[in-house]
A and B are shown apart, each in its own frame.
Chain A
Amino acid sequence: MTEDGGLVELKIPSRAEWVGVARLAIAGIASRLQFSIEDIEDLKLAVAEACTNCIMHASDSDSIAISCSIKSDKLIVTVADTGKSASSRALEPKRLGEPKVGGLGVFLIRSLMDDVEYELNPESGTRLTMTKFLRT
């Protein structure tokens, strides 16, 4: 990766049919930054899971803001909603074992990304920041 300090921002409606657009956008950005095919797939899934969480757990938020901060050795992606109803329970990774419907999204995000941080603010919504390092 040769660039540093660039920022790409995208805002999508908080609806299921727009998650694919976020996925395409992150794939384009990661490809531009020369991430491997496998890492691009990881980023696509992690961003899509974050958007899906916003849609399912912040129904009072009408948009999702996706921000990609480009660093020399990593890509930092922030996915934020303005929902005031998200509970911390939705952000806890599930315990694997017995198969259950739901709860896998956060587990996948934590597995696929190198660093994950949540900010829960009852006033402004939920912000998830994920980092993926460029492997040389």
Chain B
Amino acid sequence: MDIKVNVREHDGQRPCSVVDLNGEIDVYTSPKVKEAIMGLIDAGNYALVINLENVRYIDSTGLGVLIGGLKRVREHSGAVNLVCTNPQIKKIFDITGLVKIFGIYDTEATACENL
């Protein structure tokens, strides 16, 4: 029950910062995710892709971190897109209505292109 966070740059037609998350995001691990996302934003990165492909579980505190990041980048006319194909994780975004707020894509390439 841990989360691994990796931050890197996506070199494509539309450069952006990518946050790879691997593990479970809950009340215990979400501060680590928040630190990484807010660190990127504080450094001036307002086009973010958060890769949830290897996330097995997310709860409301994890959703809160993503929403917090989105609100911060929007203050700078930025955007956050997600990469997610896990049906259980997508179900949580669906139930909470967050599918209407985040761009959710099947691949990193499309998530970056659509920022």
Contacts and interface: CB of A to CB of B under 8 A. Distances in A.
A105 B59 contact: yes
A28 B61 CA distance: 23
Most buried by A among B1, B28, B60: B60
Given A97-B97, A101-B67, A108-B95, A45 B59 contact: yes
A41 interface: yes
A38 interface: yes
Interface string B68-105: 10110000000000000000100010011110010000
Interface string A105-134: 101100110000000000000000000000
A16 B67 CA distance: 20
A52 interface: yes
Contacts, number: 66
B28 A45 contact: no
Contacts of B24: 20
A17 B92 CA distance: 22
Contact of B26 (A19, A99, A108): A19
Contacts of A108: 59-60, 92, 95-96
Given A19-B27, A102-B64, A44 B57 contact: yes
B28 A49 contact: no
Nearest to B97: A96
A108 B93 CA distance: 10
22 contacts: A16-B26, A16-B27, A19-B26, A19-B27, A20-B1, A20-B28, A23-B1, A45-B57, A52-B27, A52-B60, A55-B27, A99-B67, A100-B67, A101-B68, A103-B60, A104-B64, A104-B96, A105-B60, A108-B59, A108-B60, A108-B95, A111-B95
Interface of A: 16-17, 19-20, 23-24, 38, 41, 44-45, 48-49, 51-52, 55-56, 96-97, 99-105, 107-108, 111-112
Interface of B: 1, 24, 26-28, 57, 59-61, 63-64, 67-68, 70-71, 88, 92, 95-98, 101
